[in-house]
Each structure stands twice: as structure tokens, then as C-alpha cells.
Amino acid sequence: MAHSQPYGVYGYRFQDSPQLPIYQLFAVGHQQISDPEYSWDGMKRIDGPLYLLQYTVSGFGRYRLGDTTYEMGPGTAFLAEIPGDHHYYLPPESNSWTFYFVLIRQANLQPLWRELIDSIGVTPQLEAGSSAVRALQRLYSEARMNGIKNSYQASSFVYTLMMELLQTKHKFQNERAAWPSSIRDAAFHMESSFAQPESLDEIAAVVGLSKYYFARLFLRTTGMSPMDYVTKLRIEKAVELLRGSKLTVDEIAREVGYANGSYFSKVFRGRVGFPPGDFRLAKELPSIDRLRFD
């Protein structure tokens, strides 16, 4: 049955074996708050331990984490641990605050949550039409239409949301238009000359930066170090040559910038999981002709 009211909060208390790696959905909601008394103190809540993601659609609220206070306007989200030293509320200057939120039990989710915090921070910006926001809206829509029938469905929706959130930084890193021009130029240089061994100093000099500043900026922009980027390019090319040429392993090693086949084989196995010779024979990977590394 369709609902005319777009707002609501839906809670879940599925009973599952504690041995199952289920992501336990606690509640999901879509609310429009205009009550000046609206306030949640993370140290006074008794419903934890929980993780909270709250995403602002319109209006604004405030979120304090420790000694830092953030204004949560449209397109901003915050991630909080309950219990925890945080406080979110409707400030006197705001007439209303409209948002989606999801609460998830912490069990089984801690490593993924830590990776999420490291990746996008505690107050990420999320575009309204982004896949992460759509995943949150879909989760709410399914709850509202009574579409979440069991813990497995709930866990699947939570996992999808987590993956889409993790991808937000990855997607930004792969939008070259957003990269600083020096990093774009350096990446192009490495892509054009990865087979000729160069030091970090030499690559940084191409774009006129000190090697220390360049290394930090490159890592922050792309998610990998300059030397890891070179290795990625070399191994991707090596995969193509192993499957598409009759060159020996030693010849391929030199072709992609390694001095000898022994060291190349060690690097290749570390990245791909198979020695170059086994990969070429395709005993374990019969359908892979190209691999991408990020």
C-alpha cells in the first residue's frame, strides 16, 4: 500500500545466530525536524553500541564531535559512534532540518566502519544524485514499503550502502578533471615512460615539485604512491604481453621496466597472486586477458 506521508522511522530486531557475519540494521528513517528541542547527546544514549549515518537533504543542523562543531547543510553527512562524545541538534538559527539516517549495530561491522572513516572522514560531502545517496534512499524506501523481511535482506542493503560510501572517494580519485594539473601531468608522464626506470626525484622534477611534497600530493589525489602507480602500469602491461605475445618472461620483464625476470616474477606474483608463467598458461584464470589494479 502506498504511503502519502514521506517521513517515518522503521526499526528492526531480527534474531540471528551471533556466529553469522550479519550486518544488523537497527533503524532507518527520513525526518523533517522543526522542534527546537531536537537534540541527541551521544554520551547519554542507551540504545548502543550503534553506528549512525545521517545525511542532510534540506535545512541545516549542527553536529559536534569532541571540540569541533560542524554545520550540516544540504549534501553533507556525518558518521557517529554511539555511545560517543558527540551531539547533534537543531540550532536556534535553523527553521528545519530534513535528513535520512540509518542506525546499524556495531557487531561485525567494525573493520568496514574504520575503513569508511579513514576513506571519507566523519563529515563527508555526498552529491544528491550519487550512488551512495541513492543506496540510502532505497534502503529507506524498502523499509517504508515493508520490503525488508529478514536479516539477510537487511544485511544486504547495509553492505551495499557501505560499499557505495567507500566508492565515493575512489570515484573522486579517478576523475582526472578534479586532479591538480601537476598530478595529471605526472600521471601522463608515468603512463608514457613507465618502462624507463626513474627515481621519485626525477618524476617530481618533471612537474617542478620537491619529491616529498609531490609524493604526499600524489597519494592524497590518487590513493596510491607514485611508485605504486608505476608498478600498477607495469603489471597491467605485463598481463597484456603474457596473454597476447610470445615474448619470454625475461623479455616481458625488460619490456615493462624490470632489469631481470626474477624480480619481475616476485612483483607480479605479489600483485596478481600467480607467477607470470602460471598466469600465461591460464590454468587458474582461463578468461582473464586484462587486469586492472587500483
**Contact yes or no for 289/165 (Cβ under 8 A):** no
Helix ranges, 74-225 (H) = 110-120, 131-144, 151-173, 181-193, 200-206, 211-222
User: Positive or negative CA dihedral for 127, 130, 132, 133?
Assistant: positive
Please answer whether residues 16 and 145 qualify as being in contact, where contact means their C-beta atoms are separated by less than 8 angstroms.
no
C-alpha–C-alpha distance, residues 4 and 189, integer Å: 57
Distance, in Å, from the CA atom of 177 to the CA atom of 56, rounded to the nearest integer, reads 27
Query: What are the structural domains, with CATH classification, of the chain?
Result: 8-173 (2.60.120.280), 178-281 (1.10.10.60)
User: pLDDT in tens for each of the 294 residues of the chain?
Assistant: 344 458 999 999 888 766 778 999 999 999 999 999 999 999 998 888 999 999 999 999 999 999 999 999 999 999 999 999 999 999 999 999 999 999 999 989 999 999 888 888 899 888 888 889 999 999 999 999 999 999 999 999 999 999 999 887 666 556 677 788 999 999 999 999 999 989 999 999 999 999 999 999 998 888 788 999 999 899 989 988 887 788 999 999 999 999 999 999 999 988 888 888 888 876 444 445 555 555
pLDDT of the residue at 275: 87
pLDDT in tens, 22-34: 999 999 999 999 9
Burial class (CB in 10 A: 0-12, 13-18, 19+), 205: middle
pTM recorded for the entire structure: 0.62
Q: How many CB atoms lie within 10 A of CB 216?
A: 13
In whole angstroms, how far apart are CA 107 and each of 51, 204, 236, 257? Answer: 10, 44, 38, 46
Q: What is the pLDDT of residues 196-212, one digit of tens each?
A: 989 999 999 999 999 99
Q: What is the mean pLDDT of the chain?
A: 88
| Interatomic CA distance for residues 260 and 239, integer angstroms | 17
Residue 284: per-residue pLDDT: 46
Q: What angle do CA 213, 216, 221 make, to 5 degrees?
A: 120
CA 122, 109, 136: angle at the middle one, nearest 5? Answer: 60
Half-sphere exposure at residue 196, Cβ-oriented, CA atoms within 13 angstroms: 7
| pLDDT of 142 | 94
What are the residue ranges of helices labelled H in 194-290? Answer: 200-206, 211-222, 226-244, 249-255, 261-272, 276-281
Rounded Cα gap, residues 2 and 144, in angstroms: 9
